[in-house]
Amino acid sequence: MDVLIKKARVIDPTQHLDSQLDLYINSGILVAMASNLEVDHVRQVDGSGCIICPGLVDLSCNLREPGYSQKGTIDSETAAAAQSGYTHICASPSTSPCTDTPAIVQLILDRAHQARHCRVYPVGALTRNLEGQQLSNMAALRDAGCIAVSNGSGDCDENMTLLRCYEYAASQGLPVFIQAQDKHLGKGCIHEGAIATRMGLDGIPIIAETLSISRHLQLLHHVGLRGHFNQVSSGSGVELIRQAKRAGQDITADASIAHLSFNETWVRGYDSQYHLHPPLRSEDDQQALLVGLADGTLDGICSAHQPHEEAAKKAPFSSTEPGMASYDMLIPLALQLIRNQTIDWVTLVDRLSIAPARIAGINRSGLQVGVKADLCLIDPNYRWTLDASTAVSTGTNQPLWEQHLQGRSLLSICP
Partner 1 sequence: MTRVKQLKRPLQLTNDGQLRHFLTIDGLSKTLLNNILNTAESFIIVGSKAVKNVPLLRGKTVVNLFFENSTRTRSTFELAAKRLSADVLNIDILTSSASKGESLLDTLRNLRAMQSDMFVIRHADSGAAHFIAAEVTPDVAIINAGDGHHSHPTQAMLDMLTIRRHKSNFDQLSVAIVGDIRHSRVARSQVQALKTLGCSDVRLIAPDTLMPPHASTLGVTTYRDLDQGLEGVDVVMVLRLQTERMTSAFLPSANEYYNFYGLTRKRLQRAKADVIIMHPGPINRGVEIESEVADGKHSMILNQVGYGIAIRMAVMSMVITGQACQSRETNYGCVD
Beta-carbon contacts of residue 87 (< 8 Å; ≥ 6 apart): 54, 55, 56, 57, 118, 119, 374, 375, 376, 412, 413, 414, 415
- Element spanning 223, H or E: helix 207-223
Does residue number 194 form part of the binding site for partner 1 (CB under 8 A)? yes
Among the candidate windows 72-80, 125-133, 139-147, 256-264, which touches partner 1 by CB under 8 A? 256-264
Cα separation of 270 and 277, whole Å? 15
Give the nearer residue to partner 1 in terms of CB position, either 48 or 265. Answer: 265
Q: Which x/- pattern, by CB under 8 A, does the window 280-309 give for partner 1?
A: ---x--xx----------------------
Q: Give the nearest distance from C-beta 391 to partner 1 in angstroms.
A: 18
Does residue number 201 form part of the binding site for partner 1 (CB under 8 A)? yes
Does residue number 248 form part of the binding site for partner 1 (CB under 8 A)? no
Of positions 143, 271, 284, 387, contacts partner 1 by CB under 8 A:
271
Of positions 319, 381, 385, 390, contacts partner 1 by CB under 8 A:
319
Q: Give the nearest distance from C-beta 293 to partner 1 in angstroms.
A: 13
Does residue number 336 form part of the binding site for partner 1 (CB under 8 A)? yes
Among the candidate windows 99-107, 136-144, 190-198, 237-245, which touches partner 1 by CB under 8 A? 190-198
Cα separation of 166 and 175, whole Å? 9
- Element spanning 113, H or E: helix 102-115
Of positions 61, 262, 279, 351, contacts partner 1 by CB under 8 A:
262
Does residue 309 contact residue 396 with C-beta atoms inside 8 Å?
A: yes
Does residue number 203 form part of the binding site for partner 1 (CB under 8 A)? yes
Q: Give the nearest distance from C-beta 189 to partner 1 in angstroms.
A: 9
* Residues 145, 351, 290, 302, Cα dihedral to 10°: -30
Beta bridge partners of 127: 135
> Do β-strands 203-204 and 190-191 pair in parallel, antiparallel, or remain unpaired?
parallel
The alpha carbon of residue 311 and the mean position of all alpha carbons in its chain are separated, in whole angstroms, by 24
Kindly list the distances between the CA atom of residue 132 and the CA atoms of 140, 270, 290, in Å, as whole numbers in the listed order: 18, 32, 32
Does residue number 70 form part of the binding site for partner 1 (CB under 8 A)? no
Applying CB under 8 A, which residues contact partner 1?
192-194, 196-203, 205, 261-263, 265-266, 268-271, 283, 286-287, 311, 314-319, 333, 336, 340
